[in-house]
């Protein structure tokens, strides 16, 4: 399956050919729909063909190739009428929702640059998102974090994707900020998100999600709250202001 969102996360329409449709969902030969993973929800949208259409209520990684993340299941509502294999379909993702996920996901990377601590968990949302950090008690200042975060956003840093080999990642374990989830290895290359310059990046770590092309596109954000979730576990909730 060709993952079109890898090359262009801003593309929201396109054509594909239906490979299989069943109880699990719809498989296409190519897709614009990002499957849930890395804390980012799966895309929703529509598939249309001559004489019919169906709403995609979720997108998930398929079981057969889940390790490589290459197989995407497009989930439809129970009882939906589906076209036969071979049908050409027009894809359309819910762009506003995807774009908000892109803005929020990029924001969480900037939050990693502001807060010094390993990430123990996280979730991307269209309006609010969160990251959990392993940090000592009393070391987080809500206003200072919000100011620093908005400063990085207003600086309009470039955001781009790079790749390294499995061996290169093994040699640079500091790139992995998450304690609970490790980047998938075994395919030979791993995707990195680089924010800022390549010589001294603002943030550089493995990530397979979708992101905006510059931090200024995020717009202003606010730190909603900071919660204690354990002896040294602090949850930071951030929201888009518009």
Q: How many domains would you assign to the chain? A: 2
pLDDT at 110: 97
75 lies in the same domain as 104: no
40 lies in the same domain as 117: no
51 lies in the same domain as 116: no
Entry pTM: 0.91
113 lies in the same domain as 57: no
The parent domain of residue 221 ranges over 97-240
205 lies in the same domain as 118: yes
149 lies in the same domain as 193: yes
CATH number of the domain within which 226 lies:
3.30.980.10
Q: Is the pLDDT of residue 67 over 50?
A: no
55 lies in the same domain as 131: no
18 lies in the same domain as 119: no
107 lies in the same domain as 219: yes
pLDDT digits (tens, 9 = 90+) for 17-59: 999 998 889 999 999 999 999 899 999 999 999 999 999 999 9
Model confidence band, residue 190 (pLDDT cutoffs 50, 70, 90): confident
pLDDT digits (tens, 9 = 90+) for 118-161: 899 999 999 999 999 998 766 789 999 999 999 999 999 999 99
Model confidence band, residue 168 (pLDDT cutoffs 50, 70, 90): confident
105 lies in the same domain as 66: no
List, as one string, the DSSP characters of the chain.
-EEHHHH-TT--EEEEEEEEESSS-EEESEE-PPPSBTTBPPP-EEEEETTEEEEEEEEEE-STTTTTT--EEEEE-TT---PPTT-EEEEEE-HHHHHHHHHHHHHHHHHHHHS-SEEEEEE--SSEEEEEEE--TT---HHHHHHHHHHHHHTT-BEEEEEEEHHHHHH-GGG--BSS-PPP-SSSEEEEEEEE-SSSEEEEEE--S---SBGGGT--EEEEEEEE-SSSEEEEEEEE--
pLDDT digits (tens, 9 = 90+) for 198-234: 888 999 999 989 999 999 999 999 999 999 887 788 9
pLDDT at 33: 98
The last residue of one of the domains, among 66, 93, 120, is: 93
122 lies in the same domain as 82: no
103 lies in the same domain as 165: yes
CATH number of the domain within which 86 lies:
2.40.30.130
């Amino acid at each position: 399956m060709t993952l079109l969102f890898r090359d262009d996360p801003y593309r929201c329409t396109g054509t594909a050919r239906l490979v299989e449709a069943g109880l699990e969902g719809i498989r296409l030969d190519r897709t614009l729909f990002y499957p849930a993973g890395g804390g980012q929800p799966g895309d929703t949208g529509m598939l249309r063909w001559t004489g019919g259409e169906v709403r995609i209520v979720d997108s998930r990684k398929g079981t057969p190739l889940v390790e490589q993340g290459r197989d995407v299941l497009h989930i439809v509502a129970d009882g939906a009428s589906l076209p036969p294999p071979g049908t050409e379909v027009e894809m359309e993702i819910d762009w506003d929702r995807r774009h908000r996920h892109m803005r929020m996901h990029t924001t969480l990377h900037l939050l990693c640059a502001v807060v010094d601590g390993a990430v123990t968990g996280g979730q991307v949302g269209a309006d609010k998102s969160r990251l959990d950090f392993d940090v000592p008690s009393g070391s987080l200042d809500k206003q200072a974090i919000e100011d620093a975060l908005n400063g990085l956003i207003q600086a309009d840093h470039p955001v781009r994707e790079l790749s390294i080999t499995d061996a290169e990642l093994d040699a640079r374990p500091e790139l992995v900020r998450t304690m609970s989830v490790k980047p998938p290895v075994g395919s030979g290359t791993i995707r990195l998100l680089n924010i800022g310059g390549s010589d001294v990046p603002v943030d550089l770590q493995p990530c397979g999600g979708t992101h905006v092309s510059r931090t200024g596109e995020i717009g202003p954000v606010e730190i909603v709250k900071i919660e204690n979730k354990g002896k040294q576990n602090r949850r930071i909730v951030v929201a888009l202001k518009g």
